[in-house]
Amino acid sequence: MEPLTEQRPVSGPVVYGFLRLARASAARQAALTASLAEYCDRHELQLSGVFTDRDAVAGPSSAAFTGLLDVLALPDVYGVVAPAASHIGPRAIVHARSRQIEAAGARLLLIRHAGPAHLNARPGGSAKRHDRGSSRVLDAKTSGP
């Protein structure tokens, strides 16, 4: 009898991660990269690399973003994963970059939605934040292709 598909090593859609870390520590970068990898594992995506933009005032065509656009032109790339829209770029250019990703035929998958968080009361008066994920950004486990 043939094993079930879930028991076979099957590659998921290929995605690349993107982080914007102008003044972040190595520990912060490692934690964010791990969160991208966990997201991809949970959603059966193959994280093939992570591009990191360290320029705080990067324009629409930073070196990291240009590299990301280059790999999106490869065959069989599904999309880009990022922790939040703010990682795609500064507020002034995030929409332009999102359009470029989509124009390349890729999806942008965001781990955290940028909309308002919903708070649910918990016993003891504390609140728990519930973020809704977007299907628009992808990320990678490594530090580049």
CATH code for the domain in which residue 47 is found: 3.40.50.1390
- Residue 78 near residue 104 (C-beta atoms within 8 A): no
- Specify if 33 maps to a domain: yes
Predicted confidence at residue 5, as pLDDT, reads 55
- Specify if 142 maps to a domain: no
Structure tokens at 120: 């649910």
pTM of the shown model: 0.71
pLDDT averaged per 10 residues in sequence order, the chain, 145 residues = 58 93 90 96 96 78 93 96 93 92 96 54 37 39 41
Supply the range of the domain harboring residue 74: 10-114
Predicted confidence at residue 55, as pLDDT, reads 77
Residue type at 106 in one-letter notation: A
Predicted confidence at residue 104, as pLDDT, reads 96
- Residue 138 near residue 44 (C-beta atoms within 8 A): no
The 10 Å CB-count burial string (b at 16+, else e) for 50-76 is: bbbbeeeebeeebebbebbbebbeeee
- Specify if 41 maps to a domain: yes
- Specify if 126 maps to a domain: no
Report how many domains make up the chain.
1
Predicted confidence at residue 22, as pLDDT, reads 84
